[in-house]
Amino acid sequence: DVKVTQSSRYLVKRTGEKVFLECVQDMDHENMFWYRQDPGLGLRLIYFSYDVKMKEKGDIPEGYSVSREKKERFSLILESASTNQTSMYLCASRLGDLLRETQYFGPGTRLLVL
Amino acid sequence: DAKTTQPNSMESNEEEPVHLPCNHSTISGTDYIHWYRQLPSQGPEYVIHGLTSNVNNRMASLAIAEDRKSSTLILHRATLRDAAVYYCILDSGGSNYKLTFGKGTLLTVNP
């Protein structure tokens, strides 16, 4: 089974802190994604990566950056956390887009910014 | 991006079939229809996907209208563990790949 793990299930940070959210997948997938999920808004794509060192902005990239130095690891960075970034963050991976394979999601990180 | 429309919520009784509808009137010819579900406090999980023909797997069936403007996810015998938010999503693929998740349908299963 594909496994997508996220470094923390819960995080509490203060406004202005730099925050790193880590995601690791163990199935050699090409594509990786970061979403945030908020009540009433569903899942929204922040960034995705289709290969090592490659990244594309999603629908809401402002205030975030990403890093993909190794194929299995995709990091989401909040350069200066703000209270409006309190949310559930979900990482996902997919083999590639050629055959429209499914996305596999991690368990999520619930981030609270005070 | 092509959008989907789903009811906000549906209710079912345990061990009865459930038909979850999805409208996607602006679907393009190469868009795949994916269904995911999200159980409480978990990340979404894949359920099923298809292009034109109806599809069956161990979790569910997917019925796609002939004009592809709508589809229905069928859970043949709902269990309490099927209570979740169900998302119908169009996958356009390509190098600008992204899935657009709507708000989904909250399925409640009554014992």
- What confidence score (pLDDT) does residue A95 get? 82
The span from the CA of A29 to the CA of A104, in Å, is 10
Each residue's pLDDT expressed in tens, for chain A with a length of 114 residues: 668 999 999 999 999 999 999 999 998 988 899 999 998 888 899 999 988 999 999 989 999 999 999 999 999 999 999 999 999 999 999 887 665 678 899 999 999 999
State both tokens at A5. 């793990």
Task: Give the closest residue to B28 by CA, choosing from B4, B61, B46.
Answer: B4
Cβ–Cβ under 8 Å, residues B52 and B83: no
SS (H, E, C) B10-39: EEEECCCCEEEEEECCCCCCCCEEEEEEEC
The span from the CA of A92 to the CA of A105, in Å, is 4
Does any CB of chain B come closer than 8 Å to the CB of residue A97?
yes
Instruction: Tell me whether residues B95 and A104 touch, CB distance under 8 A.
Output: no
Does any CB of chain A come closer than 8 Å to the CB of residue B24?
no
- What confidence score (pLDDT) does residue B103 get? 82
Torsion of CA B76, B64, B73, A94, to 10 degrees: 120
Closest Cβ opposite residue A42 in set B93, B94, B103: B103
Nearest CA distance, B46 vs chain A (angstrom): 7
Give the chain A residue whose CA is nearest to the CA of B39.
Answer: A107
How many residues in total does chain A contain?
Answer: 114
Instruction: Tell me whether residues A44 and B97 touch, CB distance under 8 A.
Output: no
Closest Cβ opposite residue A90 in set B43, B49, B97: B43
